[in-house]
Amino acid sequence: MSQKKILIVGSQGYLGSRLTDFLTEKGYLCTGADIGFFRNGVLYEPRSVPVINKEARTLKEKDIENFDVLILFAGISNDPFGNLSTEVIYDPTRAYALSIANMCKKLGIRFVFPSSCSVYGIADGMLNELGPTNPKTSYSLNKLQIEQDLAQISDNDFSPIALRLATVFGLSPRIRFDVVINMLCGMAVTQKKIILNSDGQAWRPHVDIDDVCQAFTRCIEWKDLSGGLKVMNVGRNDNNVRIIDVAKTIINCLPGSELQFLSAKNLTPEDELVVDKKIHDGVDSRTYQVNFDKVHEELPGFTAEWNIEKGVDRLVEGLQRLQLDENKFKQKDFYRLQQINHLYVTKQISEELFWNL
């Protein structure tokens, strides 16, 4: 049996870098495609794989025709920045996702899309895939719109998969420190303190990055896909945890660390890395819990293995082993909004988010 060939579009991001390593270790033939906005934010060296030096908007059929599976990570994963509107930032993402999916449909390539549990927004109770969606950010709305577009083009012969990921945490060659558990662990390891910029009462589902990689691997090997779009939440039920309780778990893992709350009155320029503009007066209105039964029942062979306690222990151990210090932790390349805004204001990228030559 020949090795499956996987194209990871957005291979130099947080998830793309880890999944490329994960799949390569398992014997898959991986190729990346990436425009390189975050290529220099390297915590540790990823495995070397061939990379198509094109961004998602410019991919053509000839670029993808020899692959068995395409996984589309490429996209904007932060708030609007500069003077750019949400339409300028997110409309191209929706357009190229649909374009690439249509090419995959024509060529018989399996298409897997990482959506987000943030499409649920604000909700009471634990929501499953049939529950109401209520996206509260442009990012979340964009994910939901792409799901809707994929549903429109799916049929008996083309079954794309949308994995609604819980908030991901864990080590990657190009880690993000602007996602909650990674950020709080980075603070605790480098500063012996955790600073929350909210009251911490918001509920959020979390998932270890290796469980996410396992889910994508199972999608690659899924043999009997029925027609239509497959939508599944990816995570585990006991990882629905309030932010304040996540912080306490990390402090328990690192004795001597302290918990602080960020005050708008005493912000320093360095605090801008941890400020979330969607939090007002210490309250994060995005609070929801998600049910993950379906993915365990329907995705063949999948089990989310890492609870928050074990995942945090492993992440902290990894950051310590890599000797993460405060300078490295605050490197802007590990913060998506800060890095892409830096590229924009220094005129390295255009208003259309292409590199300026």
Among candidate residues 32, 4, 36, the one with its CA nearest the CA of residue 19 = 32
Tell me how far apart the alpha carbons of residues 357 and 349 are, in angstroms, rounded to a whole number. 9
Contact 47, 26 (CB under 8 A): no
Contact 11, 17 (CB under 8 A): yes
Predicted pLDDT of residue 280: 42
Give exposure, 93-128, as e/b (b: 16+ Cβ within 10 Å): bbebbbebbebbbeeebbbbbbbbbbbbbebeebbe
Predicted pLDDT of residue 354: 87
Domain that holds residue 50: 5-176+205-240+289-306
pLDDT tens readout for residues 280-334:
444 566 688 999 999 999 999 999 999 999 999 999 999 999 999 999 999 999 9
Tell me how far apart the alpha carbons of residues 197 and 264 are, in angstroms, rounded to a whole number. 9
Provide DSSP, 92-156. Answer: HHHHHHHHHHHHHHHHT-EEEEEEEGGGG-S-SSEE-TTSPP---SHHHHHHHHHHHHHHHH-BT
Instruction: Extract the tokens encoding 332.
Output: 């802007």
Q: How confident is the model at residue 279 (pLDDT cuts 50, 70, 90)?
A: very low
* Inside any domain, residue 55: yes
Spatial neighbors of 315 by CB under 8 A, at least 6 apart, are: 169, 170, 171, 181, 182, 185
Write out the H or E segment, with its range, that includes residue 344. Answer: helix 336-345
What integer is the mean pLDDT of 245-269?
Answer: 81
Write out the H or E segment, with its range, that includes residue 19. Answer: helix 14-25
Angle (CA) 272 274 275, round 5°: 65
Instruction: Extract the tokens encoding 272.
Output: 């801008």
Residue listed under structure tokens 């994060």? 284
* Inside any domain, residue 155: yes
Contact 345, 42 (CB under 8 A): no
Among candidate residues 195, 176, 151, the one with its CA nearest the CA of residue 77 = 176
* Inside any domain, residue 189: no
CATH number at residue 24: 3.40.50.720
Task: Count the domains in the chain.
Answer: 1
* Inside any domain, residue 348: no
pLDDT tops 70 at residue 223: yes
* Inside any domain, residue 48: yes
Predicted pLDDT of residue 287: 83
Helix and strand numbers (H, E) in the chain are: 11, 16
Helix (H, G, I), strand (E, B) or coil at 222: coil
pLDDT tops 70 at residue 272: no
Predicted pLDDT of residue 108: 96
Contact 151, 200 (CB under 8 A): no
* Inside any domain, residue 200: no
Predicted pLDDT of residue 282: 47
Cβ of 158: how many Cβ atoms within 10 Å?
Answer: 21
pLDDT tops 60 at residue 267: no
Which residue type does 242 have? R
pLDDT tens readout for residues 4-38:
999 999 999 999 999 999 999 999 999 999 999 99
**In residues, how long is the chain?**
357
Instruction: Extract the tokens encoding 307.
Output: 């609870």
Give 81 or 115, the one with higher predicted confidence. Answer: 115
Spatial neighbors of 147 by CB under 8 A, at least 6 apart, are: 113, 115, 119, 162, 229, 231
* Inside any domain, residue 93: yes
| Span of 90-104, 128-142, 264-278, 282-296 with lowest mean pLDDT | 264-278
* Inside any domain, residue 171: yes
pLDDT tens readout for residues 164-220:
999 999 999 999 999 999 999 999 999 999 999 878 888 999 999 999 999 999 999
| Span of 128-132, 235-239, 292-296 with lowest mean pLDDT | 128-132
What integer is the mean pLDDT of 250-267?
Answer: 80
Tell me how far apart the alpha carbons of residues 142 and 137 are, in angstroms, rounded to a whole number. 9
| Span of 3-12, 239-248, 265-274 with lowest mean pLDDT | 265-274
Contact 33, 52 (CB under 8 A): yes
Mean pLDDT of the chain: 91
Contact 286, 113 (CB under 8 A): no
Contact 141, 87 (CB under 8 A): no
